[in-house]
Amino acid sequence: MIIAIDGPAAAGKGTLARRLAEHFNLAYLDTGLIYRAVGRKVLDDGADANDAVAAEVVARALVPADLERDGLRTDETAQAASKVSAVPGVRAALLDFQRDFAQAPPAGFQGAVLDGRDIGTVVCPDADVKIFISADVEVRAKRRVKELQDRVGEAIYARVLEDMMERDARDSDRAVSPLEPAADAHTLDTSNLDADQVLATALEIIGSRDE
Ligand code: DC
């Protein structure tokens, strides 16, 4: 069983994907983390995140330890990830790893949940279930502010909102694998739902598919 979860930043993808993986005993892959690792490494190497050649070199040489680097969750890294992810060569370099994970998940799992921007459209077009989750950008910015306040102690709403809108626009407007729902995706707006309600709605979607 392969479940594809796509959507913009802070819509609740990660929480839902993790909970679905636990519920169905599936392996979980946060594909955003892979792009973050590329973006972080480009910055740590002293290069510019808009340098397509540097980004592709880093993506081709990525090793599992890079997914454990410090600073992958910062907004600086998120912006760098968004920039490197628009480079076709970067996406091509990372595609096989994601597809292999979905097709042959780690031992003990009968399938996988992947979350990202192009899982239902490009990485796993034949996924058993595709859910595209969204939420109003103001709601997502507030969630991110709370997360940053809990984690690093401070965050400025106006700045977070601006960063999020910039990232949404870049991820949606890029030529390769833009953020968009697959034609056969179920859409789920989480603006007025908490994590339990999002999980319950997703389980209904998955259950109704089997009827
Ligand atoms: O999900 P996230 O916020 O950790 O993702 C960081 C960036 O990585 C996002 O702005 C765009 C890029 N990304 C992508 O292009 N394709 C994916 N499947 C996942 C993430």
Check if 117 has its Cβ closer than 6 Å to any atom of ligand 1: yes
Ligand 1 pocket test, candidate residues 15, 31, 166, most atoms within 8 A of CB: 31
CA 3 to chain CA mean position, Å: 13
CA of 90 to the centre of ligand 1 (A): 12
CATH code for position 92:
3.40.50.300
Whether 210 maps to a domain, the answer reads: no
Whether 58 maps to a domain, the answer reads: yes
Which structural domain range is residue 39 located in? Answer: 2-197
Determine the pLDDT at residue 154. 85
Whether 157 maps to a domain, the answer reads: yes
Whether 211 maps to a domain, the answer reads: no
Whether 208 maps to a domain, the answer reads: no
CA distances from 69 to 3, 63, 95, 190 (A): 27, 11, 21, 30
Whether 17 maps to a domain, the answer reads: yes
Determine the pLDDT at residue 57. 97
- Per-residue pLDDT of the chain in tens (211 residues, 90 and over written 9): 999 999 999 999 999 999 999 999 999 999 999 999 999 999 999 999 999 999 999 999 999 899 999 999 988 999 999 999 999 999 999 999 999 999 999 988 999 999 999 999 999 999 999 999 999 999 999 999 998 898 888 889 999 999 999 999 999 999 999 999 999 999 999 999 999 999 999 999 999 875 5
- Contact between 78 and 44 under an 8 Å Cβ cutoff? The reply is no
Whether 48 maps to a domain, the answer reads: yes
- Contact between 14 and 22 under an 8 Å Cβ cutoff? The reply is no
Structure tokens at 124: 């796993």
How far apart, in whole angstroms, are the C-alpha atoms of residue 31 and residue 90?
13
Protein residue whose Cα sits closest to atom 11 of ligand 1:
82
Determine the pLDDT at residue 156. 92
Check if 7 has its Cβ closer than 6 Å to any atom of ligand 1: no
Domain count, the chain: 1
Check if 77 has its Cβ closer than 6 Å to any atom of ligand 1: no
Whether 204 maps to a domain, the answer reads: no
Determine the pLDDT at residue 211. 53
